[in-house]
Structure 1
Amino acid sequence: MTQVVSITPEEKWAVEADAGSETVHIRADKANAGLNADPKTLTGGSKSIQKVRVGYPEPSSELESSIDTKLFHRYMYAALGNYKFTAGTTESPKNVHEFYGGDQTKLPSCTNTLTFDVGNDVLLKTLLGACCDEFTLETSDDLSTASTTWVYKTEHEKKLSQAQQQVYDEVQSSATPFIGYDYTVTLGSDEAVAESYVFNDLKLEIKNNHQTDGSRGLGNRFYGRQPNVGDREISLEMNTIFDTSNLQLVVQSEYGDLITDDNGNWIPSPCKIYTVPLSFKIQTCEDAEEYVFIKFPKCIISIDPLEFSGTDDVEVKLTLQPMGTSNITLKDGTTSVKTDIYVQVVNDQPELKKY
């Protein structure tokens, strides 16, 4: 199979970047891209279409793949932008890539390519000015998946023979894909208590909400400027089974505080909402020197209404929304940033070039 997605950072938005050392090649499970330009029709009082004009495109692309330490930092650079690199040393040879959410109006853009098998040929689709609009990480009792959604300016296509198209294996061939048992979740600041919680699955979503309407201009069907990012929405969903180990967590998530009345009943707080720090680490036993660490310094936590059905386990769905009001100190020990999310990726990959 020659169906591969390649991502190359651009020096300037929508100016095609040539594939090279900064390019990552991904054997995706599925991918798509399209201009999404609906035709504008006019009936003019008739029962049928009488006139038509081509509409404004809303180019978007989706990508889904397994995820590992060699790829994670690439997605974080596209989704968060703020990046700091620390090279490894003789004592600690692995490199450290740090990312965090900020208030910048634009994110890095990329030239993305998708290849589709067409008989004995390959269709090469090149997307210009691609910006990561959404990133989703999901894991349970199966291999973890990472999904991204991109908005871009325009595209072009070219037919190649399979002999002309290089097949890329070098980046992910040595990487171990993540699976559910690689995750260690710490909810709250007390790790001893956090270890007692057993979560069945996890879903992290980062949405950048690019403002594409403001990028259109007269005289051109396609975006005339790079879309600004809107409000960053981050959510983390986890499911567990209701038992005595998480009873207090469930009550606090629903009521905001542990307040009792004169009869010993827990009652809802008159004004408080429950917030808690959360972090998780993803580390494979095959290469324990490489890992991903994600921290949310302060999260609003809530639960779906409790529901029982027959003798089935009572499931509890926790939803956490990070707040950007806490400071995180980076690895250098001096740089402090106020953020809602902090990501550290430790691997053997070189520094990403920042544009």
Structure 2
Amino acid sequence: MARGFGIALESEYGDVQSIDDIDLDWFQKMEEVNFELGDEAETDDGGSRSDVVAWAGAAKPNGSTSAKVDLQRITWYLLGFLDHYVYTEGTGTLAGLNIHEFYGGENHELPSFVGLAVYDALKIAVFGLIEDGLKLEVSDSAMTVNNDWLYATETAEILGINEDFEEPEELADSKIPVRFYDVNVKLNGEKPGSVQTSFSMEGNNNHDQEGTIGLGSRFPQEKPQAAKRTISLSLATTLNRNSYRDILDARYGVVDAVTPSACRILTVPLELTIAQCEHPEQQLVIKFPECTLKAEFDLKGADRVEATLNLQTLGNGEVTLNDGTTTVNTDMYCKLINKVPELAIEAESDDNEGD
């Protein structure tokens, strides 16, 4: 029996189809998969000391998944979280590979997916699946991706006795996850002087699901709109001679300061490069071109003094796309080189683009 989750892009939001007709782009065995209808019953006591009537309340379907990151499936997660996508076929030294670029802009409508959660012999298909939250974490093992989802509705199917779930063909080079030693960090354009022991990114699209439920149906009736995008980052390190200056710069808001600034805060770019040891030609570069930077640390006995750099992204940092000429203002940009073909979604223009 299989346990896990897979997705495919939808051609139309919330289009319900037979589970047998769903053609997944990929499936991954996962330890944590949870989808709930979010339909709490409403009750009324009619003046009595106990409730005397109950009825079905509004359904607010939502879910969460957790998996290890590989450089193939991450393509769909980035597409679901960010609102701009540009595809370029690899040539020259990148022949046989594909270049996917994603970045955050001002579009309020994000791609939707159909998802299939498999719990042994029970299959749950979720339609109108929207990625509301994306969290990436890595410390001393494999990188993990945690997602928060919203969706429109679902349907179920139970496998027969001795019937197995047929998984789609495995994506090329997707079996080995990203490990901590595949990840390199640049802060303010340079590799930090001290060792970075962990990295985390937590982003949220803050979709308005409430506005999709109205008269005529207790389920969402249209695609929820993304509201303000928030992205928080953190790097863990050790307070020592290699990090004193970086920590104080972040703490005081000015480079080389030894007292707090009267009004300034420090803003820096953060860049993450993931190049898998087994396939170094395939890589993911994530840029946060402008972030506020703060530092915190505390002392506990004779243990090493742990320090954390906390960053909050801003949306006015400039990035040049892979074509070498197009520039965009964004809070997050990703360039992913892998073996996944072009995703079937039209790229959209951004008012912030320019030459």
TM-score above 0.5? yes
Q: Equivalent residue for 2:70?
A: 68
Question: Which secondary structure state, in structure 2, belongs to the residue aligned with residue 244 of structure 1?
Answer: coil
Q: Equivalent residue for 2:4?
A: 4
Distance in 1 between residues matched to 2:255 and 2:309, nearest whole Å: 18
Deviation, 1:319, is: 0.9
Q: Can you list the C-alpha shifts for 1:12-60, whole angstroms capped at 9, x where unaligned?
A: 111147533x722222221011101111111233232211111111100
Report whether the alignment pairs 1:165 with 2:168: no
Question: Which secondary structure state, in structure 1, belongs to the residue aligned with residue 73 of structure 2?
Answer: helix
Distance in 1 between residues matched to 2:244 and 2:84, nearest whole Å: 38
Report whether the alignment pairs 1:288 with 2:280: yes
Query: How many residues were matched structurally?
Result: 341
Paired amino acid for 1:116:
Y
Residue correspondence of structure 1 range 336-347 to structure 2 within 5 A: 336-347=327-338
Question: Which secondary structure state, in structure 2, belongs to the residue aligned with residue 251 of structure 1?
Answer: helix
Q: Is the 8 A contact 2:127 2:151 kept in 1?
A: yes
Which of 319, 330, 337 does residue 321 from structure 2 map onto? 330
Q: Equivalent residue for 1:220?
A: 217
Residue correspondence of structure 1 range 104-183 to structure 2 within 5 A: 104-117=107-120, 122-161=121-160, 163=163, 165-168=165-168, 170-171=170-171, 174-183=174-183
Q: Can you list the C-alpha shifts for 1:99-133, whole angstroms capped at 9, x where unaligned?
A: 0001101100011111111xxxx211111101000
Paired amino acid for 1:282:
I
Q: Is the 8 A contact 2:8 2:25 kept in 1?
A: yes
TM-score scaled to structure 2, two decimals? 0.92
Report whether the alignment pairs 1:101 with 2:104: yes
Paired amino acid for 1:204:
M
Deviation, 1:97, is: 0.6
Q: Is the 8 A contact 2:59 2:219 kept in 1?
A: yes
Residue correspondence of structure 1 range 192-231 to structure 2 within 5 A: 194-231=191-228
Tell me, which stretches of 5 or more residues in structure 1 are unaligned? 261-265
Q: Equivalent residue for 2:289?
A: 297
Tell me, which stretches of 5 or more residues in structure 2 are unaligned? 347-355
Q: Is the 8 A contact 2:249 2:256 kept in 1?
A: no
Distance in 1 between residues matched to 2:174 and 2:235, nearest whole Å: 30
Question: Which secondary structure state, in structure 2, belongs to the residue aligned with residue 235 of structure 1?
Answer: strand
Q: Equivalent residue for 1:24?
A: 26
Question: Which secondary structure state, in structure 1, belongs to the residue aligned with residue 93 of structure 2?
Answer: coil
Q: Equivalent residue for 2:341?
A: 350
Distance change in 2, residues 1:132/1:252 (3 Å): same
Q: Equivalent residue for 2:45?
A: 43
Paired amino acid for 1:106:
E
Distance in 1 between residues matched to 2:192 and 2:309, nearest whole Å: 16
Q: Is the 8 A contact 1:250 1:303 kept in 2?
A: yes
State the percentage of identical aligned residues: 32
Deviation, 1:290, is: 0.8
Deviation, 1:334, is: 2.2
Q: Is the 8 A contact 1:114 1:126 kept in 2?
A: yes
Q: Can you list the C-alpha shifts for 1:258-293, whole angstroms capped at 9, x where unaligned?
A: 476xxxxx2111111011111011112111111111
Distance in 2 between residues matched to 1:139 and 1:96, nearest whole Å: 24
Q: Equivalent residue for 2:312?
A: 321
Paired amino acid for 2:149:
W
Question: Which secondary structure state, in structure 1, belongs to the residue aligned with residue 242 of structure 2?
Answer: helix
